[in-house]
């Protein structure tokens, strides 16, 4: 028996700014809220039949919507649900793409399941985490992801992809750079460690834990530290925070050849510049450090756009800002860093066209 057809509710001219943390951008030509897979499939069929482009919207914390809006069907993902199962001394947690990410982290920490605690406080939804290979404070989701269930828009089939098929890299994945737009993430499965020790590989977290005289910190202790650190950088969405209208980190930390890192140190006149050797022989540099050494300061503004007062990686939209202003300011930062150090910063958020 064929499933009953879905009564698809397609709205027109829906303002997208309220759906994004930047609070900018125009309207979607068409808009659908997909709270189940059937609605998502129906929306894609609707778009294909009309030759309409599709944009997938999650929590809106990592996207810049153009001022003119988008001549496309925007599908907001609202799939919910979390299931767990024990597997060979571990616990596998499967969360639907529309689950709020930090709620899932809090859930894991409350159950004493290690692996996500350092990713506390990151805005957005579960479905975005494999797309970006979300990471912070010594952890990345690729450390724990064992499967991604996704809808293959080229075939219409739901597929389950292994970590290798996801093509994870630093803030990157096959979903983002190899085949952008092909897959819509439906659910993600993470393998966590019951009773596992928290990750303390990041200096800021280790310092905060030590400052609280915690000799045997729990996962909850580390989550508390991470949230506290993120708040000092305005990297937690808090109503009333003057820096709240941002995408968080607007640039990724560049990974460059070792010789390029040496040239940066020479140009800066600082031999001890922040750098982290990578397994492939490259060196990761601090984008925030490069921005500040290129002559920008926290809180610096150009009209209605500027840097966060708490962190040089966040571009903040103030009242009256437009998406074009944000992108122009971002280009100025990129050009200044490139001229000063010969390093081109890459944008972290998706810029819709």
Instruction: Give backbone dihedrals phi and psi of 161, rounded to 5 degrees, phi first.
Output: -105, 140
Q: Can you give the pLDDT at residue 311?
A: 95
Query: Is 171 one of the catalytic residues?
Result: yes
Which of 41, 149, 171, 244 is flagged as catalytic?
171
* The two structure tokens encoding residue 36: 């189940």
Question: Which of residues 27 and 7 earns the better pLDDT score?
Answer: 27
Domain spans in the chain, listed from the N-terminal domain onward: 11-77, 82-232, 255-351
| Model confidence pLDDT, tens digit, residues 309-339 | 999 999 999 999 999 999 999 999 999 999 9
Whole-structure pTM value: 0.92
Q: Which residues pair with 136 in a beta bridge?
A: 139
pLDDT band at 280 (very low <50, low <70, confident <90, very high): confident
- CATH of segment(s) 11-77: 3.30.43.10
Please say if the pLDDT value at position 144 is more than 90. Answer: yes
- CATH of segment(s) 255-351: 3.90.78.10
pLDDT band at 271 (very low <50, low <70, confident <90, very high): confident
Query: Is 262 one of the catalytic residues?
Result: no
Please say if the pLDDT value at position 102 is more than 70. Answer: yes
Class (C level, CATH) for 82-232: alpha beta
Q: Can you give the pLDDT at residue 281?
A: 86
Q: Is there a contact between 227 and 236 (Cβ–Cβ < 8 Å)?
A: yes
Please say if the pLDDT value at position 1 is more than 50. Answer: no
Query: Is 286 one of the catalytic residues?
Result: no
For the beta carbon of residue 180, count every other beta carbon within 10 angstroms: 12
Which of 179, 262, 292, 348 is flagged as catalytic?
348
Q: Can you give the pLDDT at residue 237?
A: 87
Q: Can you give the pLDDT at residue 4?
A: 55
Q: Can you give the pLDDT at residue 279?
A: 81
Which of 61, 225, 249, 308 is flagged as catalytic?
249
Mean per-residue pLDDT for 157-182? Answer: 95
């Amino acid at each position: 028996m064929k499933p009953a057809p879905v009564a698809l509710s397609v709205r027109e001219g829906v303002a997208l700014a309220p759906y994004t943390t930047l609070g900018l951008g125009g309207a979607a030509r068409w808009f659908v809220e997909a709270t189940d897979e059937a609605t998502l499939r129906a929306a894609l069929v609707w778009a294909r039949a009309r030759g309409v482009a599709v944009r997938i919207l999650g929590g809106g914390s990592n996207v810049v919507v153009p001022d003119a809006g988008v001549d496309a069907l925007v599908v907001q993902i609202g799939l919910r649900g979390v299931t767990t199962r024990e597997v060979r001394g571990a616990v596998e947690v499967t969360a639907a793409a529309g689950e709020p990410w930090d709620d899932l982290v809090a859930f894991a920490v409350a159950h004493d399941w290690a692996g996500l605690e350092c990713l506390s406080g990151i805005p957005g939804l579960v479905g975005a985490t494999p797309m970006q290979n979300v990471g912070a404070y010594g952890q990345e989701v690729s450390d724990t992801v064992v499967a991604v269930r996704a809808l293959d828009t080229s075939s219409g089939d739901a597929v389950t992809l292994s970590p290798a098929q996801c093509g994870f890299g630093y803030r990157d994945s096959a979903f983002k750079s190899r085949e952008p737009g092909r897959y819509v993430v439906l659910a993600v499965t993470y393998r966590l460690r019951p009773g596992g020790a928290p990750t303390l590989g990041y200096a800021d977290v280790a310092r905060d834990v030590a400052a609280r005289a915690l000799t045997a910190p729990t996962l909850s202790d580390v989550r508390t530290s991470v949230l506290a650190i993120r708040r000092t950088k305005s990297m937690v969405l808090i109503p009333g925070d003057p820096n709240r209208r941002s995408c968080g980190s607007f640039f990724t930390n560049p990974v460059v050849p070792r010789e390029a890192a040496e040239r940066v140190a020479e140009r800066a006149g600082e031999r001890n510049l922040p750098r982290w050797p990578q397994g492939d022989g490259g060196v990761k540099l601090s984008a925030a450090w490069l921005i500040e050494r290129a002559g920008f300061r926290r809180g610096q503004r150009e009209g209605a756009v500027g840097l966060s007062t708490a962190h040089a990686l966040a571009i903040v939209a103030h009242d009256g800002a437009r998406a074009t202003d944000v992108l122009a300011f971002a280009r100025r930062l990129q050009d200044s860093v490139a001229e000063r150090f010969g390093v081109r910063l890459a944008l972290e958020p998706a810029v819709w066209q």
